[in-house]
Amino acid sequence: MTGLLPDRIRDAIANTSVFAASKSFGVVALSLLVMLLLERETLRMAGFQRGRLLALTVVSAPLLIAVALTIVARFAIVIH
Amino acid sequence: MSASRVARGVTPGSAAISADVVVRHPIAPFVCVAACIFVQAALIAPGDVLAGDAADAVLVFLLLQAAPRPIGRNAQFSRARAAILALVLVPLIRVVGLALPLRDGSGAAGVLSVAILIGGAALGLAPAVGLSRRTLLPTGLARSQLPTVLVGLVLGVFAYLLGAPSLWSSGAPSPQVMLAVLAAACAAVVEEIVFRGVVQLTLQRVALVTGMLASSALFAATYLESYSGPLILAYALAGLMFARSVARTGALGAPVVGHILLVLGAGALWPTLFGRVHPSPIFESCSTIALVLAVAVMTVISIVRPLQPPSGDGVDLS
């Protein structure tokens, strides 16, 4: 029993295929990731906001890994 | 938008400009805490997981917009900004957990993945909210902190008696058992780093007692998605006790050890030694009443006997 991945979330994941999950939860994560990366690039090009860039990078990193793993999982299912 | 405006800390978009004014008020971080708890309680816990996921993603984005770089040297503004930025981690846990392709993996592997990703994010975010990473890493354990460790041990026995789920299914092979124990321990460490470390320490800077209680409420809210009321209360009580320890010492060592003893005791040690228990409805009802009283008493004690804030770690919030 943990607050990081409680029963309700585990059930939601277990009852959904990788394809269905990537079309629902995956799209939410991907949309957020794209928005954060766009904002990060805008700020980076302006050349300021070091602390804010750090925050955006830190928040984007786990989302990027999750999205990348989802893409790999979908790809693996397709070629399998 | 001119480059000079961006340089002053105003991000593109009117939301950021209005947030810049709103965040100057010390109540702003607590409104954000309430929003995080509302999403957990009103959407995810009743089963609207996708709606909750979307709401959490919007919260992550809005909290990041509401924490622009401070203008000038307003200390209260800097503290509020840091607290709001720290709160980003809470909805991020749900968004990352749901986005990972965990269907075919074991539950333990999923917990371990989320723990590593969120733990890394928490440690990465620490400098941006004015905390040193060394503050967040549990190091030593003083003798005065032993009661906090004992609280974890006792509540672990209590959670076991209340029927806390086992960390592994019966007949699981040794590697699966080891992975489950490792995942549970890592999750406990990361939860302490996030809730008692990053969130509580930043909220305490805005309002000591209220910050401590708000971080404890937020911690308890993440367990609302579990199915057992008494277990949620047991974790809420543990959260309050651990929060008081951090408020008193500023160190995470004892809460981390206490939390590990709680989860490993309830889900691994006591079930292995004494077998599974199925609590009777009478025991559950009595436990619920006792736990509600204990949480209420701890909350009142926290309010009437405020603790000394932990000393700063010398990191400039601006």
pLDDT for B248-294, tens place per residue?
888 888 999 999 999 999 988 998 888 877 878 888 899 899 999 99
Six-digit token string for B108: 């333990």
pLDDT of A17 above 50? yes
CA distances from B86 to A73, B64, B82, B83, B215 (A): 31, 9, 6, 5, 11
Q: Return the DSSP state at A2.
A: -
CB contact under 8 A, A8 and B101: no
| Domain boundaries along the sequence of chain A | 7-79
* Chain B residues touching A63 at Cβ < 8 A: 92, 95-96, 99
Confidence at residue B183, expressed as pLDDT on a 0 to 100 scale: 93
B196 CB within 8 Å of a chain A CB:
no
Q: Return the DSSP state at A67.
A: H
Confidence at residue B304, expressed as pLDDT on a 0 to 100 scale: 84
Q: What is the mean pLDDT of residues B69-84?
A: 73
Confidence at residue B102, expressed as pLDDT on a 0 to 100 scale: 79
Six-digit token string for B175: 């590697």
The closest of B156, B157, B163, B164 to B260, measured between CA atoms, is: B156
Q: Which of B11, B98, B110 sits opposite A25 (nearest CB)?
A: B98
pTM, to two decimals:
0.87
Largest CA distance in chain A: 46
Six-digit token string for B179: 């992975």
CB contact under 8 A, A4 and B95: no
- Shortest alpha-carbon distance between residue B142 and chain A (Å): 26
Confidence at residue B164, expressed as pLDDT on a 0 to 100 scale: 86
Q: Assign B303 a pLDDT band (cuts: 50, 70, 90).
A: confident
CB contact under 8 A, B92 and A22: no
Residue-wise pLDDT tens digits, B94-153: 999 999 887 766 788 889 999 999 999 999 999 888 888 888 887 777 777 888 999 999
CB contact under 8 A, B92 and A17: no
Q: Assign B42 a pLDDT band (cuts: 50, 70, 90).
A: confident
Q: What is the 3-state secondary structure (H, E, C) of chain B?
A: CCHHHHHCCCCCCHHHHHHHHHCCCCCHHHHHHHHHHHHHHHHHCCCCHHHHHHHHHHHHHHHHHCCCCCCCCCHHHHHHHHHHHHHCHHHHHHHHHHHCCCCCCCHHHHHHHHHHHHHHHHHHHHHHHCCCHHHHCCCCCCHHHHHHHHHHHHHHHHHHHCCCCCCCCCCCCHHHHHHHHHHHHHHHHHHHHHHHHHHHHHHHHHCHHHHHHHHHHHHHHCCCCCCCHHHHHHHHHHHHHHHHHHHHHCCCHHHHHHHHHHHHHHHHHHHHHHCCCCCCHHHHHHHHHHHHHHHHHHHHHHHHCCCCCCCCCCCCCC
Q: Return the DSSP state at A15.
A: T
CB contact under 8 A, B61 and A12: no
Confidence at residue B224, expressed as pLDDT on a 0 to 100 scale: 84
Neighbours of B269 (CB within 10 A): 18
Q: Which of B44, B47, B96 sits opposite A62 (nearest CB)?
A: B96
CA-to-CA distance for B92 and B113, rounded, in angstroms?
Answer: 14
pLDDT of B70 above 60? no
CA-to-CA distance for B112 and B247, rounded, in angstroms?
Answer: 28
* Chain B residues touching A66 at Cβ < 8 A: 96, 99-100, 117
Those residues with Cβ within 8 angstroms of residue B283's Cβ, 6 or more apart along the chain or in another chain: B161, B162
Helix/strand/coil for A75 = helix
> CA B27: distance to chain centroid?
20
- Shortest alpha-carbon distance between residue B190 and chain A (Å): 9
Backbone angles phi, psi at B102, to 5 degrees: -105, 5
The closest of B51, B286, B248, B246 to B158, measured between CA atoms, is: B286
The closest of B171, B141, B155 to B237, measured between CA atoms, is: B155
| Residue linked to tokens 């000591």 | B208
